[in-house]
Structure 1
């Protein structure tokens, strides 16, 4: 019975039946995918949604509307505002003028590359005066087109009722202008300034809601207000439509799972029994189709798939979905026959050997080896047989020309050698910016390129050394300044203490000495910690850490400081737990330094944003705050040690916090950087995501 089963399992009839079943399942998979795309735009997530107010469909009803209203209030305001040039800033105008200057460089005959750019720019202003004056008008026309496009969008809204105002301009499709009137509807969204009121409350649990709230977080005025209400009739219609789509999508999803399982199992079975009469058969039997080279096989598969996709695109799916299966079956049958042929070659260990490229390279190597193995006589014979007739044919009746070409070629090589020799001499004498240019190809050109690479390396090394020396000088200057200040105070008050008799004065001087000594200890501790962190001489214990819980717990610990400064923290993070691979103590020390920097330099009473975003391999942690001081230095300078946001150095920080945070993040295999945009200060941390082993 067991032997019969083995024979039956590997019989041609069985394989043919399974092959047909596999084609049917594959066609079912494609058809199910087409159904899912046609229903709810391929959004499979609707299958797992249990509430209309949690769905993407509900948020989509108001996402575009609120986005358009926000753009109207924030940027365009009114047609009069646009015509006055209120939507155009100097940077945009400057960029457009710069683009026009680039066109002048490429197209104008007046442009002279030998002149300075300033002189060319003056000529450009004269020649392109009319076009420059038209730039602002063109930008205003573009904004007007966008403004009217947004107006058409919101006027076409049918169902939701809305009211939007910035205190001057109003956009609405109803007679209501009070939020209480909007709150009388079964569902509404009310946004006033930086506050929001959404009903029903189930909407706040929707993972899609942040598409709306994140855009509203960037509002620049508390006078802005947007009210959106959803009438009962509209909601009932959308809920009914959502339920129908959910039923259809669920059915399609389960069909997709079933067909996928059938396809995978049948393909796995065919791959297993392919080319063998029974499971332990050591001899693999190839077929006629297996004579086709593998690389040609692959190209043929790609061609069939491309043609199949073109035909499906031509049918304008999903309107003609019933044509998918009849078209898919013949193409998939041909492709899977070719794929199973490649599987047989894999099992036979001839996948790479049975390629046309391999055979051509093998034949060439065999020819060269035969010539080489024949010895010097054979090589000379081949050169004479092939080269002598060619030489005679080329030089017959023009021997002097051949000699001239040889002399020219030799002279060119001598010049190349001399150029390399002179270039090396100049570089040796200190001209590190000199580049050897001999042009062409060959060994001399390769040698010159290698020497230029060495020169570039030397130049970079010198530049880095100069930068390092500058940083060392600034470090010494800043350290001396910060340490000398409390030290000078200590010396002064010690001298006063020696002469003072009044006990109250002595107590006052002692208090000052205590403060200054603590300040001096704080500076030396930070300096020591910065040295350890930059050297990497700190033990690191990487472990799985919930970054959301770590920050939430940390913010709780500094809540008193936050309330004291009047700061408002906005913590945005995924609903699920987010795990990173890091050292808990070092990671919190880095975050603590960033928070400390915020407490020292953030504008009192402002908002602080903390965002956590999951990337493919990393977790992105961003801190944003408004600086109380004018940030008139670059991000690179601010990252240097003993640098502070206030150049007067009047604050109590050491200037080492961000540098220490950067070093600690680096030794945890992460990245730390800062960005400055006006008075907006961003601290950005990339930490490796924890992956299950």
Structure 2
């Protein structure tokens, strides 16, 4: 019986049957995925959601509406407000003016580098007054277009019913104005100032609800009111549709699991038995398809994947899902035949040797080896018998040619020298963007490349100086904005306190004052620390630090904050102790700033990875987290002062944390870098390793 099972397990018929089963399972899995995505519109989480009010679908019904209305009321208000220029962002206007000023510096003959920057700027405003006005008009036109675009969006909404007012402007699609009228509906959301009320109450547990409330909460004030209500007919229809989609999606998900399991098991079986007649068979038998080189097979597989995706895009998606299997079956059959061929070569240990590249290199090495192994006597004999008579004959007839070649070579060198001379003259006269072009690899080409490098260095120095000036301007603007915001709130609430008699409101005002004064203190402290750190005046007591123990102890100190934000920290480090040369206090302050940045911007409920690894003479400390905001900003911009990942000035951070961390790490002779990959945010700290016992 055992002999028969071995016979059948490796028979060609069994392999063909399993191969067909594998193709069927793979095609079925692809169709299940396509149907699942089509039914749920990409929201596959519907499978695991308990009811409609806890679903992503419920939130998405009003997410776009709330976002558009918030932008309308927060920034644009009305067309008259826009036409008065009230919506022009001062920072944006300043940046636009700065760009025009850069053009003025490069193009205008009236720019005088001997004058002070302020004097040149005044002359620029006079000379470019029309362009500045045109720039403002363009900004206003853009805002008007955006205003009407948002207005058209919300005017097209028939359900849900909504009413929004900031005390002056009103946006609504119903005749109802009172919140009690909206609360008569079976589901509603009421936002008034900083307060919100939703019904049914279970909506509070919806993990996507913060998509609606986050932007509103940041901007909330007493005069704002926003009511949303869903009619019973609409709710019944959407709940019924959601339940139907959930049933279909769940069924598709189970089909996907079944097909995937069948595909994996079939492929593993074929990978094990392919090329052998039994499990104990030591000889591996290759097939005709295995003569195809591996690199050609890989290119063919990539081509098949591209062909499959193109055919799905043109023929199948999104309304012809019945074509998924007919399209997938023949392409996947060829694909897996090539894959199994590569598996056989891997088992035969010829995966690399059976490539075009390897064969070309191998034959070239063999040819050189044959010439080398022929011996010096043979090589010299060939050179003397064949080369010497040819050299004598060619020399006699090539004398005029030799003179011509020498003249051409001398002329080429003279032209190269003249090009270098003229280029140096251009650079000396201020044309720092001029590049000297000298072809070849000789001394003149090397000299031209060195001069171009000097010009590039000069250009970079000028660009860095301009960037430094721009950063100074932005720093002043951002400092003023960030400090003025809580200061304005403090002044406002102090004025309110002077005339307020209601003790409950007085207590509320005092609480706001406490928050804003604390915010102002944090901003001032961070600004002072940033200035001190960037100046390098902080003394550093460099000593041997066990960085694993430092981070372990530090994470224990912030454990309550970690639990509060529902973050899961994963700390990976070598088993042995890892020592660095650093100042313990400054190093923990830098790490604390990185952790603070994670606490402010990490996606709630996500994982945070901390990893320590040795990199030569350095130790690399890496922090990785998923951002709750879209990171539509570069890493270089994020390291600038007062920059934040959400490009918003409304968050509680000062925008100085990462900059302070970078300065403190520099003081300790280390490096601080950040990387952004989609929503993945990575902070990397390099510190000198300490190997002293």
- TM-score, normalised by the number of residues in structure 2: 0.64
Distance 1:591 1:198 in 2: 41
Distance 2:177 2:130 in 1: 46
Instruction: Report how far residue 371 of structure 1 moved.
Output: 2.8
Point out where structure 2 has 5 or more consecutive residues left out of the alignment: 422-434, 465-532, 578-583, 610-622, 628-638, 643-656, 675-680, 686-693
Report the secondary structure of 2:185's partner residue: coil
Instruction: Report how far residue 132 of structure 1 moved.
Output: 4.4
Highest CA radius of gyration, 1 or 2?
Answer: 1
Superposed CA offset, 1:147-194 (max 9, x none):
111111111212212111111111111222233332332222222222
Distance 1:670 1:201 in 2: 50
Report the secondary structure of 2:226's partner residue: strand
Alpha carbons 2:19, 2:266 under 8 Å: kept: yes
One of 398, 401, 423 as aligned partner of 2:401 = 398
Distance 1:96 1:20 in 2: 64
Distance 2:194 2:94 in 1: 33
Q: Tell me what 2:549 maps to.
A: 541
Instruction: Report how far residue 616 of structure 1 moved.
Output: 7.1
1:141 to 1:31, Cα distance in 2 relative to 1, 3 A: same
Instruction: Report how far residue 534 of structure 1 moved.
Output: 4.8
Distance 1:112 1:352 in 2: 65
Instruction: Report how far residue 325 of structure 1 moved.
Output: 0.6
Q: Tell me what 1:644 maps to.
A: none
Paired residues for 1:325-344 under 5 Å:
325-344=325-344
Alpha carbons 2:607, 2:626 under 8 Å: kept: no
Q: Tell me what 2:180 maps to.
A: 180
RMSD: 5.6
Alpha carbons 1:544, 1:581 under 8 Å: kept: no
Distance 2:167 2:175 in 1: 17
Distance 1:200 1:125 in 2: 58
Distance 1:211 1:88 in 2: 27
Paired residues for 1:217-256 under 5 Å:
217-219=217-219, 221-256=221-256
Report the secondary structure of 1:263's partner residue: helix
Distance 2:121 2:440 in 1: 39
Q: Tell me what 2:143 maps to.
A: 143
Paired residues for 1:486-525 under 5 Å:
none
Q: Tell me what 1:566 maps to.
A: none
Paired residues for 1:192-341 under 5 Å:
192-219=192-219, 221-315=221-315, 317-341=317-341
Distance 2:206 2:45 in 1: 12
Report the secondary structure of 2:188's partner residue: strand
Q: Is 1:362 paired with 2:366?
A: no
Name the stretch that deviates more: 86-95 or 61-70: 86-95
Q: Tell me what 1:91 maps to.
A: 91
Q: Tell me what 1:562 maps to.
A: none
1:100 to 1:662, Cα distance in 2 relative to 1, 3 A: closer
Q: Is 1:162 paired with 2:156?
A: no
Report the secondary structure of 1:71's partner residue: helix
Alpha carbons 2:185, 2:231 under 8 Å: kept: yes
Name the stretch that deviates more: 180-189 or 270-279: 180-189
Alpha carbons 1:54, 1:202 under 8 Å: kept: yes
Alpha carbons 1:665, 1:672 under 8 Å: kept: no
Instruction: Report how far residue 327 of structure 1 moved.
Output: 1.1
Superposed CA offset, 1:78-120 (max 9, x none):
01111111111233234445556788999xxx77899869899
Q: Is 1:190 paired with 2:193?
A: no
1:19 to 1:381, Cα distance in 2 relative to 1, 3 A: farther
Distance 2:16 2:559 in 1: 61
Q: Tell me what 2:34 maps to.
A: 34
Report the secondary structure of 2:280's partner residue: coil
1:102 to 1:299, Cα distance in 2 relative to 1, 3 A: farther
Superposed CA offset, 1:238-284 (max 9, x none):
11111111101101111111111111110111111111111121111
Alpha carbons 2:78, 2:169 under 8 Å: kept: yes
Distance 1:11 1:286 in 2: 15
Distance 2:11 2:163 in 1: 73
Q: Tell me what 2:476 maps to.
A: none
Instruction: Report how far residue 50 of structure 1 moved.
Output: 0.7
1:234 to 1:292, Cα distance in 2 relative to 1, 3 A: same
Distance 1:222 1:341 in 2: 71
Distance 2:281 2:123 in 1: 84
Q: Tell me what 1:642 maps to.
A: none
Q: Tell me what 2:472 maps to.
A: none
Q: Tell me what 2:69 maps to.
A: 69
Report the secondary structure of 1:198's partner residue: strand
Alpha carbons 1:593, 1:661 under 8 Å: kept: no
Report the secondary structure of 2:549's partner residue: coil
- TM-score, normalised by the number of residues in structure 1: 0.64
Alpha carbons 1:586, 1:664 under 8 Å: kept: no
Distance 2:133 2:388 in 1: 70
Report the secondary structure of 1:42's partner residue: coil
Distance 2:253 2:388 in 1: 70
Distance 2:132 2:548 in 1: 59
Alpha carbons 1:590, 1:665 under 8 Å: kept: no
Distance 2:123 2:600 in 1: 49
